[in-house]
């Protein structure tokens, strides 16, 4: 279910999605917070609280996401938080999970700053209550759950060594949004009818490796759609 809200601070129209999982969580725990970080370069977060019917029940604005901007470059933030953890978090966001991030407040702030730059106005859900999360990622611990696509995101983070910081962020931003669009397209296509792997790959202009990656995300997001990818004679030969 897609919803929109006008940010009371900057008057920008923002969009977010409420899925069944979030609604059932709201049923158990009252309200579910949805964080929408936006406004570039004046970055702030609007936290919308939705109830089990998906209705807005309140909001808050978090303003202090800007202070650290001057002193840190994206690559420094990634180094501080850890490439592998950033990769996991971004993969979780692409996969549409509600994430709970455990860490010291300063690192969490840096993380939000980084995500705001990379994801710009894209929707993602970082919850502030562990009970509401699908996945908990600790910035301190070495033992975190494995998420689909994290290796791919890690390889993206390692790319573009000779780019400027802005160039690097743009590269990440474009590649991540392309991947999200492709996952969305596959879901839309499979919702209408069955497709052969070859036809899907041609339609999306992706290679075997990218197709497997997209399939991993579909498997975690919409496992019911997997058997709509059918094997055709072309896939075998």
Q: Where are the beta strands (DSSP E) in 92-150?
A: 99-102, 135-138
**Pick 39 or 92: Cβ nearer Zn ion:** 39
Site for Zn ion in 9-68 (CB under 5 A): 9-10
- Considering the complex, what minimum distance in angstroms separates the CB of residue 12 from Zn ion? 5
Q: Where are the beta strands (DSSP E) in the chain?
A: 2-6, 13-17, 32-38, 44-50, 56-62, 99-102, 135-138, 195-196, 229-230
Nearest residue to Zn ion by CB is 7
- Considering the complex, what minimum distance in angstroms separates the CB of residue 93 from Zn ion? 20
**Pick 10 or 140: Cβ nearer Zn ion:** 10
| 136 near Zn ion, rule: CB under 5 A | no
**Pick 8 or 167: Cβ nearer Zn ion:** 8
| 94 near Zn ion, rule: CB under 5 A | no
| 7 near Zn ion, rule: CB under 5 A | yes
* Site residues for Zn ion per CB under 5 A: 7, 9-10
């Amino acid at each position: 279910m897609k919803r929109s809200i006008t940010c009371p601070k900057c008057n920008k129209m923002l969009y977010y999605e409420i899925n069944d999982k979030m609604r059932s969580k709201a049923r158990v725990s009252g309200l579910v917070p949805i964080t929408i970080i936006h406004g570039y370069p004046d970055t702030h977060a609007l936290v919308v609280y939705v109830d089990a019917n998906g209705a807005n029940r309140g909001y808050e604005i978090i303003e202090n996401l800007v202070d650290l901007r001057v002193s840190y470059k994206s690559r420094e933030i990634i180094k501080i938080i850890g490439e592998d953890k950033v990769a996991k978090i971004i993969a979780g966001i692409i996969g549409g999970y509600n994430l709970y991030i455990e860490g010291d407040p300063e690192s969490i702030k840096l993380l939000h700053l980084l995500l705001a730059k990379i994801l710009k106005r894209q929707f993602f859900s970082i919850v502030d209550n562990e009970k509401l999360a699908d996945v908990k990622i600790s910035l301190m611990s070495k033992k975190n759950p494995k998420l689909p696509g994290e290796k791919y995101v890690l390889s993206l983070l390692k790319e573009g060594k000779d780019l400027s910081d802005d160039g690097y962020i743009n590269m990440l931003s474009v590649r991540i949004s392309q991947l999200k669009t492709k996952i969305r397209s596959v879901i839309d296509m499979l919702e209408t009818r069955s497709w052969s792997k070859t036809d899907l790959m041609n339609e999306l202009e992706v290679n075997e490796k990218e197709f497997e990656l997209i399939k991993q995300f579909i498997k975690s997001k919409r496992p019911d759609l997997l058997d709509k990818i059918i094997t055709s004679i072309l896939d075998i030969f």
